[in-house]
Structure 1
Amino acid sequence: MRHARNNELTDRRSAAADAKASLLTAYRAAKTAAEPSRAARQTERISFVEAREARRAERERVKVEERTRLETLAAQEQAAIVAAATAEIEARRSAENTRISGVVQDEAARKAERDRRYAARKARQA
């Protein structure tokens, strides 16, 4: 009684075909049953992607603003440095001109004093 059934090739083939058909119907049923949750997952994934893109765009915008702010700050600092250097050069030039004019005035005063002494000496001799 070991082989109570007569398991011929055609019986095995039909059993395999029936098993495949039942697996296919089970797959189709599971697929149609999971359709609403799949759509929900898909919309959730789309919302995650949109949120990620929005965060990335915000980070990029902040980076650009920060870079622009730093460039503006650097330009202002550079302008301040140039203005300070120009003011210092102008101050040195002004001090140099003042010193030169003072030397010229002293020289003129010395020459005038010398000429006055010379004229006084000539007046005494005459």
Structure 2
Amino acid sequence: MAIYREKDIFERRNAANEAKRALLERFKTRPAADDPAVLARQAERKAILEARAKREAEKQRLKQERLAREAAERAAREATEEAARREAEAKAAAEAQAREAEENERIARVLADDAARKAKRDARYAARKARVGRTPPGFTAR
């Protein structure tokens, strides 16, 4: 069984110094800004950014076209629905007017029938009174 041994301060200090030295070496060996490899990498990054910007612009243009197309379709659909609603309202109004005219005609027929029945009844009553030949006191024949 292995026994865990804690590092002492000297080992920790040496490890930190080695890490600092490695960072310094990496910084010193870094290529200069005018190095062809750095310039090529910068050009490649610039090309990638430009391509990304073009793709974003194209995506935005397509999105705007889609939104405009959807808005036009929605407006056309709403106009169609509005026309259908107006047509249905006009049809319902015409049907209501026709029902009202039919109802008025029926009422007029009923009133005319009642008037004709009353006229027949009055004619029968007058004929009966005329057959009898006399009129009761206070009654005048029409």
What's the TM-score, normalizing by structure 1?
Answer: 0.69
**In the TM superposition, what is the alpha-carbon distance from 1:34 to its structure 2 partner?**
4.3
Alpha-carbon distance in structure 1 between the residues aligned to 2:129 and 2:57: 106
1:112 to 100, 115, 123: 123
RMSD after superposition: 2.9
Alpha-carbon distance in structure 1 between the residues aligned to 2:48 and 2:27: 31
Match of 1:67 in 2: 78
AA aligned opposite 1:52:
K
- After superposition, the Cα gap between the structure-2 partners of 1:33 and 1:91, relative to the gap in structure 1 and judged at 3 Å, is same
Match of 2:107 in 1: 96
Match of 1:87 in 2: 98
Please show how residues 1-126 of structure 1 align to structure 2 within 5 Å.
13=24, 15-20=25-30, 22=31, 25=35, 26-122=37-133
**In the TM superposition, what is the alpha-carbon distance from 1:37 to its structure 2 partner?**
4.9
- After superposition, the Cα gap between the structure-2 partners of 1:48 and 1:103, relative to the gap in structure 1 and judged at 3 Å, is same
Amino-acid identity (%): 14
AA aligned opposite 2:89:
Q
**In the TM superposition, what is the alpha-carbon distance from 1:28 to its structure 2 partner?**
4.2
Alpha-carbon distance in structure 2 between the residues aligned to 1:120 and 1:23: 143
Alpha-carbon distance in structure 1 between the residues aligned to 2:46 and 2:89: 64
Alpha-carbon distance in structure 1 between the residues aligned to 2:70 and 2:27: 57
AA aligned opposite 1:110:
R
**In the TM superposition, what is the alpha-carbon distance from 1:99 to its structure 2 partner?**
1.1
What CA deviation, in whole Å up to 9, does each residue of 1:25-47 have, x standing for no partner? 54443122443454244223212
Alpha-carbon distance in structure 2 between the residues aligned to 1:27 and 1:60: 49
**In the TM superposition, what is the alpha-carbon distance from 1:16 to its structure 2 partner?**
3.2
For structure 1, the residue ranges without an aligned partner over 5 or more in a row are 1-8
For structure 2, the residue ranges without an aligned partner over 5 or more in a row are 1-19, 135-142
